[in-house]
Amino acid sequence: MEFDWLTFGFEIVNFLVLVWLLHRLLYRPVLAMIQRRRDEIAAQARAAEARQAEAEQCKAEYDRRLEDWAGERAKRRRELDEELEAERQRRLQALEAELAERRQREEALASRQAGQARESAERTALALAGRFAARLLAAAAGPDVQARLLRLLVAELGALSAERRAALRAALASAAAPLEVTGAYPLDDAQRAELAQALAALTGGSAPAMVFSEDPALLAGVRLTVGAWQLGANLQDELQAFAELVPADG
């Protein structure tokens, strides 16, 4: 069998044409498809990386927001605790103030009641003392007591202030009736003369006209009356003054 160069040449040509056709029609599209696939894979990888980065960013943002929310919640909790504590303190202070006010009212009421009880006891004691003194003085009253009271009145006339002396002189000068001298017992001549002398010294002239009377209600002593002016040294007036020390109820 002879080697045919022409056939060998055609085979080479066919092979080259086949290679060219494969390169043209198959290899390049396959390479292009592979490249596209690589590009797609690279794009998907980049997209996945972007999504991964976005997911990590979202997670970081979520973690940050969780931290912020936890901090805000802790802050709100502290503020709420502070508000509750402030409200508790305010109510506690209001309660203490109310209790203090109530205690003051109760103390004031107790003090007022104690004062009223004390005043009632004082009134009772003074009333009893007044009744006892009235009975005692009524039992001890007599002309001798009246004589001592008259001497006391004479001494009091001599010790009157200038203002009261002037008032007495004006009352004597303007009186339409004589000076009334009332005694629990009749005054003897010596007692009348002693009283007249004291009045004359008081007025700076003669003794005023006097009219004498008796009133057993005076118990002992005398009372001088001229117009609206009155001066007395007798047991009834003294007991009346003592009775006026007793406060009125109510």
The Cα 87–Cα 74 span in angstroms is: 19
pLDDT mean over 4-18: 78
SS3 of 211, please?
Answer: strand
Name residue 230's amino acid: Q
Dihedral sign for Cα atoms in the order 232, 233, 239, 245: positive
The Cα 220–Cα 235 span in angstroms is: 6
CB proximity list for 191: less than 8 A, separation 6 or greater: 147, 150
pLDDT mean over 216-230: 76
| pLDDT score, position 137 | 53
In this prediction the pTM is 0.40
The Cα 223–Cα 236 span in angstroms is: 10
Per-residue model confidence as pLDDT tens digits over 88-108: 889 889 888 888 888 888 888
Range name among 58-72, 113-127, 134-148, 157-171 with the lowest pLDDT average: 134-148
pLDDT mean over 142-152: 78
- Cβ burial of 134 (10 Å; 0-12, 13-18, 19+) is middle
